[in-house]
Structures are given as structure tokens and as C-alpha cells.
A and B are shown apart, each in its own frame.
Chain A
Amino acid sequence: MNPAHSMWSRTLAWIALVSFAFTTLVAPVSLRPIGIDFVSGQAFAQMAGKDQLAIIALARRDGVGTVATARIEEYLRAMIEAGSVVQLTPQSVVKSGRPKFVRSARATQRSNKATKNLAKADQALLAARVMIDEKKNLKTAAKLLSAAIKRYERYFVELVDFTKLVDAYARASQAQLMLGKRGSAATLLTKAVVLQPTLVTNRGQKKMHKLLTVVRGRLAKRKKGTIQVECKTPGAEVYVDGVKLGSAPAVSKDLDAGTHYVQVRHKEAEPWGKSFTVRGRRISVNARLEMMPNPKHNIHVSVQLSKIAPFAQKGGFHTRRVRNYSLMFSRQIQARYLLYAVVSKNVRGLELHMFLFDSKAKKFAALDMVPFNSNLSNMQMKILEAEGHIRRAIQAFPSKKEVVAQPAVYTKTRAAAGAPAIVRTPPPLATTTPTTRPSTTPPSTTPPSTTPPSTTAGSGTPAKKPVSPSVRPTAPTYGPATKPKTDPYAGLLKNTDQDKSIVKTWWFWTALGAVVAGGVATAVILSNQTPEPSPNFKVDARVQP
């Protein structure tokens, strides 16, 4: 070869290499905006009553750097927190293994019971309405309404829509009137008007309309009363007869004589309620809310984070053991979903593999892999993509991507590290579960080899490093992960010269010179170039009320 040509080739190559490295690795990171300010999305999600998702750990494999992993984790957290599908469990909760607020078992039981009874009352009311409209089975309708009223009255603390109770009173009154019991009808209608003074009846029912006029006249003669509600808990909201009065203390005036229902609610307390009979006087009530206990010292932590975090490093999501531990931990911290993730590396860049555990389905789903540029220059877009995968998985759980075998990311890396991949021929479709456990071959301890890799799947890939004896053999798998894959590292092993020190080579110093020259050249090019317009715009606002 012509020495001049050789020299030119070498110089040009290194200038180009450095320029390329500068423009693709350094510049984008420093110039691209991050652009999203995630603040307090968690607070919004919490109020909306979303399920919780806990990020257990972001493990790293294949020599992925800690900084890159930390950045991915940081942005993933921020993106999930800003999202609206789930609420991100605080890291302090995950680390401690204790939930922040837990409703007592007794309160939960009480609430469930009330909800069931109110639902039954709703059903009875609707059924009775149909009967009354059709003027059939009036006695049954009256009984149904009586039962509905009892349930509404008994569980009014959890009742949100008091018009149901009013409707039940009015309908019961109508049924009694149709059955000829005017006295009972008047009593029930009075209760309805006391709760809703603006109550109206169908004008087609003249008897009912007349009775309403009479009831209104009676109530007008009685003295009206006032209820004053006080509560020391900041943020407690007061409702009288289902009408929100605002934050405590609150006063409801001009209440008709009769029974009125006071409710006090707070997001971190059990709902409080009491009924009062107002007879022309002022009633003062002090609501004492039972706050949900902070279980810092009450919860027994049976599964520590340190126990389950290594699962992200080892995989095994298809095993019962990992599922059981995950289930226990999710119940312990009251998070419905657990997210395990691992960042691995391939020739093109980094890969984020995520595995989502749903404690209700008691299953793991493998989410689509998210590739990143090795310098994370596309991190913002890719994290959005990752959050999308999580969101879709949650909305469609259990998905078709349920983990039934060890995920490929774990088997792949082991193969790259030197262990011969044990890929067994899948059994016939009829016997997806092998009746006898296939024997496993001990890992090969073959020394590093520079022999070009064999293209035969399953015959083992030449490795760069010797395999540690502690590495356990890969379990036989029959899912998608067992598909024979060509080793992505195979090409890198070509022309590897491990015996020669790099600093002693002529081309190292040539390269170093070229790096400097190339860097300067690229910097000049970039400084004279108009930057491409950003795909985003900035919004500035100022409060000028």
C-alpha cells in the first residue's frame, strides 16, 4: 500500500471518528432540553384514588453504568408520578416496607358493609318505583321502600346522594297514600320535606300534591332550627343532609323541625356522621374524626426490600417463590403493582426490560423492551415510551405477555458471559408442562476463546471471560425466551488482541492526535452551523390577576 495513502486513511479515519463521537455523544446531551417539570402529580393521583405502583429496583447488567441506571430510574419515577393511571408509591414506603396510611381492618369492614347495604337499598328503591308507577304490588313496594329507608338511615354516614333517601320517603309516602294510610303517608312525606324543602311531586297525583301542601303548612308553623358543626381536624368538610357546607366550623340555618343528618369527611379520616332531631333550637356538635392510623409502628414487616430487590437482577419471575414474595410485599406496602426492571447493554445501546407484577392477578407481565441510545440522548422520548408500556399493561392486565419462563434478558447475558446456553428442544404442544424435570448440564468452564462463534444455536458462544463456578445452570425454558438467538456480541470478538498493550501500539497515538484535531474541526463546524429548530416550544406565563 502507498504510505501516503495509508497515512491519509488513518488521519481521516480518526478525525471522522472523533467528530462522530462528539456530535452524537457529547453535543446532544448538553444541548437538548429536558423540559418537563414534574411536581406533585402524586398528590393529584392520590386524591383520585388510583392504584399504587411501587418501583422495586432498577438493576443493571452487562456492565451498564450506575449513572445511566440512576438517570433512567429518576426519569421513570418522575414520568409515572406525572401520569394519571397509577399512583407511585413513595420510595420511603418501599424502603421501609410500611405503608403510609392504612385504613383499619375494622373500618374497612364497616365501610364495605355500608356500601353493600346502600347498594341493596338502591335496588329496593328502583324496584319499588317501578311497582308504584305501574300501580301494582303496592304492599310489596311499601315493604321494599321501608327496608330501603332503614338501610339508608342506618348507613347514612357513607351515603353521598341524599336525594335517594328523600326519594325513598316520598315514594313510600305515595305508596301509603295509595293504600289508604294517610297518617303514615304524611309522616313519611314530612321526613322528605324536612330533608329537601324544595321537594316537588308529580302534579298528576292530586292527593299527593294536596298532602304535600298540608305537610308544608305544618312545617311552616313549627320553629326552625340551626345546627353548628365544629371539628378540630383541619380540612374536615361538613355536610348537612348531603349538602356540602364547606370546611368546619360550619353552620346550617333555617332547618325545618325534624331529623337532619350531619356528616364530616376528611381524606385521611374515617367518615363521621350523626343524626339530630331539630326542634326550633340551636344544636352544636363537635365532630371528632378518627384519623387513619399511621402504621409506622404497627405493621410487621415480614418482607424487606433487600429480600425482593435482587429478583430484578436474577429474574425468576416465572417461579412461584418470586411471585409469593412479591405478593407478600405488595400487600405489605399496599401497592397493587410492583415494577422490577433491569438495564442491560447491547451493541446498539442500552435496553430497559421491565416486569410488572399485579397483586390481584398474582402474575408477572413482561413489558416491551425499551431501547436507549448508549449516551441516553433519547432518554426523554424513551421514558415516555416506557411509561406508555406500563400504562397499557396496567389497563390490559393480564396481558398475553405473562412471564412463563425466564426472560431472555437473563439467559442472553449469561450466554454472553460464557455459559453455554442450554436450549432444549421444546416438547410437543400437547405436553407443555414436562412430566419429568429435564436434567441440566453443568456450565462449561471453557477458557476464553477467540475462535469465531459457531452459528449453531445452543452449541455455546465463545466467551470473553471465564465463567464463575457459582453461576448456576440455566433452567430449561419453553417460552419465547428460549428461542435460539445469535449472539449480539459475536462480532465484537473479531480481531481482538488482548496480549498487546494499547499504549504501545502506533495507532493509539495516531488516534489521540486525530481526536484532538477532529474535535477542533467538529467544534468549528458546529459553531458555524445554525442549530436545527427545536421540536418543542417554551411557554412563559405570569400571574397578573
Chain B
Amino acid sequence: MKTLTRLSLLCVIATAAAACAAPPGEPVQGLAVAIKAPLSDNPFDDPETAFVAMVAEGPDIPADKLQVVKPYSPNMPLTLPAVPYGYGRGMRIELYSKDVNGQPTFPVRGRGRTVPKDVRHGETFLVHAFVTKTNAFSAPFNNANQEVITDGRVGASVIAMNNEQVLIAGGADPVAGATDVHDVKSWGNFKTVPLRYDIDTRKLIDLSAAPFSTSLSQGRAFMAAARGSDGIVALTGGYTLGASGPEASKMVEYFDPKDSKIKQAVASDKPNLQFARAHHTVTRMFDNNNYFMVIGGKGPESQASRTWEIWHPEQGRLAFGELSIPRWNHATVRLPEKDGGYMMLIGGENDNGTINNFEVIRYDGSGNVAHKHNNKITCCLPSGTCASDAECNAWKSQPGYSEYKWQPLLRELNGGGRTQAAAAYVHNTTPRYNLVYIVGGFEDTQKKKPMTRVDVFNIETGKWVDSVQQLQAPRGAPIMGWSTAGAQRGQVIVTGGVDAQGKTIASGELLSYDSTSGKVMREWSSNELPNGGAVFGQAASLSTGHVFIAGGASSGDSGLKASATIRLYNPK
């Protein structure tokens, strides 16, 4: 009886616990996915397409764990009944053909992703997956009426924002009869109207129209643009139309995605750059801040090419200082570092010819920039005054000065000097690599010797990656972008550019790094592009894995022509 009493007590507790802990309910709909495709080159119309797969993706969801694969039929439904709530939830849609046994087989014929969403209890999102053919350029719309950007966008800034929308700002049209892509006078009709592309809805929106009604203060092209940590896009310098033709600009404006407006650093008395600059670069400096470093470039004042400036959307121009050597038409990539502030300046040109080195400079967060200068480390105060070693030592006693132990890096480029090369920091975690791709460019400042070189620098080992790979064709000023999603992450697409005669190259090629062999390989090349070749266009990497390519001009027998189409490249 004693035992029974104990048991009864235990069971009372158990019953109470069981009654309180109700069983989980049925999963409710968290994502409703509308699967779309372009009207032309629709991968669903491909007779080889036999299966559709939907795979859940997220930072904590193992790859290909949650998936459903079904034979394809029009308007078919797909359901994943239980995907864990969490951050960055997205769906990957893939199309497969069938093998001799009727099973899905590689290669993937079409792929699309939804924009990742943070899905919490009680929330339902309608998202779109835009499925386009793999290893192909597709129109980014499923509406034939929106195939074309209504005006030319040569030298436009094309930047993917945090909200997975793409900003297309500025740009120019070729002047009638112009034939020389390297002559700034070939461009006119500089644009003020910004455009915004939304991959989720596949719409291109004119931001100058209501309800946004925003524009650049002055028409500009060949600006340098970079995205800030909170999604703003800084649009710096570039060319604008002056009294005697295109001239470099000091103007800095930024696009604020919160209200979709173009703004200036109005709270500051120094909203613009100190020096007018074109052919320069701008780079965000830290992971969690909106400090931008504007580097080099060319302008009416000679200081532009040998100085850097720091700009902030609220504080305007903060500081400027000297570079080790003047540079323009160089490339700059931001390197990872927990303290931030590392930037690699690659090649470029100055009055002495093309530059045959890259230089890593660092902003230490206290207003000091260190760089290599005649084998000596110099430093600059927030006022922009730079100094020699001796003066730096003297400044050590001043408040705010911080000792920096970092040794700057200056390295000779493989293959000699190059200007107007394309460069990108391409990185991955599994397999791990941190690479800087430097592709194409010109050997000479006259832009008559385009290069086929593909040089890849491993920033972890500090060595050049061994590669026997060259570009299929010599490309000056190529357009380069890389895929940032899924298994295709790290594939680099190189298109367009110009040859020795200044003619645009109508081909594209895909490069990738094989971590096993440690070499860069060409995965694919094509002699035909749907929008022809282009130069001075730009590419932006989308979270859907696509590379968005817009703007630029093509050169033909009848002169220069603005490339009016935009394309999505879907990697292999």
C-alpha cells in the first residue's frame, strides 16, 4: 500500500506535467513559394526537364537534407511539410533531366532560389524563386515588356544591396559617331535617374517616379560606388557634364534603402570629396560601419591621384592623406580582418606608366592609415597630415595615436603592370579559401595591349595560386562577377571587355578554383553572349546565386552603342 501511495503521487505529478505539456500542433505554412521563369529561354520548356527539386536552405540546415523531388508537370505543387523555423530560410529550386533508369540526373538544367527570410512562429511569407537555365545568361524578367533598360547605362554603378535589390545609378550614352571607348568625350547624356531591380518580384523600378521621386543631383557616370554595412550605397565622384565636356566630380551622394531616396551628408559642412575624382575606387572599411575610403583617381587637381579620403554619410569628409604612389584605373578589394580596414590596391596607372604592384593598406580605426612608402612606414593623423617615421614616433605621445604593429604588404604583380583590370575577393568556408582574383586589364596606358592573364592571390598563404589558366581572349576592362550561393559559390564569370582595337569582346568564360589541386580552372567559355559584348558595364552578386550584369557599351562598325539589356548569369 505504501508503494501504491508513492506511485499514485508520482503519477499525479506526471499527469500534471503531461497535461501541461501539450503535444505539438501541425506545422503551419511559413513560406509560400511561387516558382517563376523567364519568358524566353524558359528552362521548364526544355524537353529534357523531367524533375523538379525543392531543397530547404538555411545557415543551420545541413545541405540537401530537406528536399522533395518530383516529376515535373505544369502548375505542379511541391510541399516540404516540416522545415525548422529560423534565420535565413530559403528554398532552392532545381530542374533535372532523367537518366536511362528514369531517375533524376546531373547536370542541373535550371536553378533558382528564393530570397532568404527569417521565418518565425506565426509568420508567412510569399516568396519567389526565379528559375533560369544554368550556365546561361537569361533575361531577368518574366515579362517581355521589361526586357530592355529604356536608356543607356555606360559606366553606371550596379550594386546589390542588403535587401537583395540591385541599384543601378548614373551612367551615360555614347555620343553620336563616337568610336573610342577610352575617350571620355565619347560619352554624354549623363543620367540622373536611378533604377532599382528586385529579384523577388523581377521588376525594374524607376526611382525618379512616384512614390520615390528621387534622383541624383547631377547626371554622373563612372562613379565609384560601395555598399555600407546598413545597406546604404555611397556614390562618389565620377564624370559629370561641365561647360567644356565631361569633367571629374567631387560630388558624393548616397542611396538610403530605408526610404529609397538619394541623399547627401547634409549634417556636414564637408559633404563632398576634397578633390574631384574619376577612375578612382571607394571601399567600405569596416564590417559594422559606414566609413568609406575613396582612393586615388584622376581629376583636374593633381592631388586626386596621390591621396585617399575618408567619407561618412553623416559626417561627410573626415580625413584625407597621401598614397605611396599616385594611382588611377586601379582596382581595390576589401580584405577580411576582425579589426577591419584592410584594403588591397591593385595595379592601375600613373604618369610613369602602368603599376606593377599591389599594396595592402590599413586604416586602424583611430584615424591612422599606414602604407608602404619608399620602404618606410608612414602615418597620417585624422587631419590628413601624413608624416615620416621620425614624425610618427614624435606623434606617439599625442592623444588618440595608437601604435600599429602591422607591417604593410607590397607585392609585385605577376606579369608586370596592368591597368583597368577586374578584381574581386572570392571566399568560401567549405572548402576554405580566401582569394583575390585579378583578371585581364591592359599592359599599357594607351590601352592597346589587353591581357589574358588570370592571377589569383591567396591571402592566407601570401602566395600566388599556381595556375596555367589564361583567359580565352585578351580582355581590357572586363566585367567580372562571382556567385555567392550554394555549391556554385566561388565560380567567377568574366565577360566583355575590349580588345587591342577597342572592339568589345562578345564572349564570356567561367573560372573556378579547385581547392584539391590548388589551381584555377576554366569551367566553361562561350563565344556568344545574348546581349553581345560590353565594356564599362558592371556585375553584382545576388543571394540567389545569380550574377546580375547591366550597363556598358558595345563597339561595332557603326560606332559605340549602349548595351540596353540586363542579364542574369546562372552559374554551372
Contact = CB atoms under 8 A, between A and B. Distances in A.
B81 A43 contact: no
Interface in A166-220: 167, 196, 198, 200, 203-204
Please provide the 5 A-B residue pairs with the shortest distance between their CB atoms, ordered closest to farther.
Answer: A35-B82, A537-B30, A16-B11, A13-B8, A531-B25
Contacts of B18: 19-20, 22-24, 522
Interface stretch (A25-33, A138-146, A278-286, A345-353): A25-33
A529 interface: yes
A196 B522 CA distance: 14
B24 interface: yes
Contacts of A235: 99-100, 105
A6 interface: yes
9 contacts: A13-B4, A19-B18, A22-B18, A34-B82, A44-B106, A163-B470, A532-B24, A537-B27, A543-B76
Contacts of A531: 22-26
A200 B15 contact: no
B31 A539 contact: yes
B459 to A, nearest CB: 23
B3 A495 contact: yes
A49 B76 CA distance: 31
A544 B469 contact: no
A74 interface: no
Given A163-B522, A544-B35, A19 B24 contact: no
Contacts of A163: 468-470, 522
B521 interface: yes
A531 B22 CA distance: 6
Interface stretch (B63-71, B146-154, B309-317, B350-358): B63-71
A9 B104 contact: no
B33 A539 contact: yes
B500 to A, nearest CB: 9
Given A13-B11, A532-B23, A33 B82 contact: yes
Contact of B85 (A22, A198, A518, A535): A535
A277 B379 CA distance: 65
Interface string A504-545: 000100000000001000100110011111111111111111
Contacts of A27: 23
Contacts of A535: 24, 84-85
Given A32-B23, A33-B82, A531-B23, 17 more contacts: A20-B11, A32-B24, A34-B82, A37-B68, A39-B69, A533-B28, A534-B26, A535-B85, A537-B29, A537-B30, A538-B27, A538-B29, A538-B30, A538-B82, A540-B33, A541-B93, A545-B35
B202 to A, nearest CB: 12
A129 B27 contact: no
A518 B15 CA distance: 10
A114 to B, nearest CB: 17
A541 B77 contact: yes
Contacts of A96: none
A125 interface: yes
Contacts of B8: 9-10, 12-13, 16
A164 B474 CA distance: 18
B208 interface: no
Given A198-B473, A539-B80, A542-B78, A533 B67 contact: no
A542 B84 contact: no
A307 to B, nearest CB: 30
Interface string B395-423: 00000000000000000000010000000
A196 B26 CA distance: 60
Interface residues of B, number: 87
Contacts, number: 253
Interface of B: 1, 3-5, 7-8, 10-12, 14-15, 18-19, 21-37, 42, 44-45, 51-52, 54, 56, 62-70, 72, 74-85, 91, 93, 99-100, 103-106, 119, 121-122, 129, 131, 142, 416, 443, 449, 452, 466, 468-470, 472-474, 521-522, 525
A35 B76 contact: no
Contacts of B15: 15-16, 19-20, 518, 522
A544 B85 contact: no
A543 B11 CA distance: 52
Contacts of A196: 472
A522 B76 contact: no
Contacts of B30: 537-539
Contact of B25 (A129, A164, A532): A532
Contacts of B22: 526, 529-532
A203 B449 contact: yes
A164 B45 CA distance: 37
A148 B74 CA distance: 52
A524 to B, nearest CB: 10
A40 B55 CA distance: 12
Given A161-B521, A537-B29, A526 B3 contact: no
A43 B27 contact: no
A23 B22 CA distance: 8
B81 A538 contact: yes
A47 B3 CA distance: 62
Given A13-B7, A39-B68, A541-B33, A534 B25 contact: yes
B474 A538 contact: no
A137 to B, nearest CB: 19
B104 A40 contact: yes
Contact of A545 (B33, B36, B84, B103): B36
A489 B54 CA distance: 47
B91 to A, nearest CB: 6
Nearest to A494: B3
A16 B12 contact: yes
A13 B4 CA distance: 8
Contacts of B474: 200
A539 B64 contact: no
A1 interface: yes
A310 B22 CA distance: 42
Nearest to B107: A47
Interface in A114-170: 125-126, 129, 161, 163-164, 167
A315 to B, nearest CB: 31
A14 B8 CA distance: 7
A536 B27 contact: yes
Contacts of B470: 163, 200
Given A16-B15, A542-B35, A542-B75, A43 B54 contact: no
Nearest to A79: B65
A234 B14 CA distance: 64
B13 to A, nearest CB: 8
Contacts of A38: 67
B63 A544 contact: no
A308 interface: no
B65 A82 contact: yes
A545 B44 contact: yes
Contacts of B24: 31-32, 531-535
A93 interface: no
Nearest to A495: B3
A111 interface: no
B142 A9 contact: no
A545 B67 contact: no
A257 B27 CA distance: 65
Contact of B23 (A23, A35, A39, A541): A23
A537 B119 contact: yes
A399 interface: no
A9 B3 CA distance: 10
B77 A542 contact: yes
A74 B79 CA distance: 21
Contacts of B83: 35, 536-539
Contact of A9 (B4, B74, B103, B468): B4
Contacts of A545: 35-37, 42, 44-45, 74, 131, 142
Contact of A6 (B1, B452, B469): B1
A540 B77 contact: yes
Interface in A37-54: 37-41, 43-44, 47
Contacts of A16: 8, 10-12, 14-15
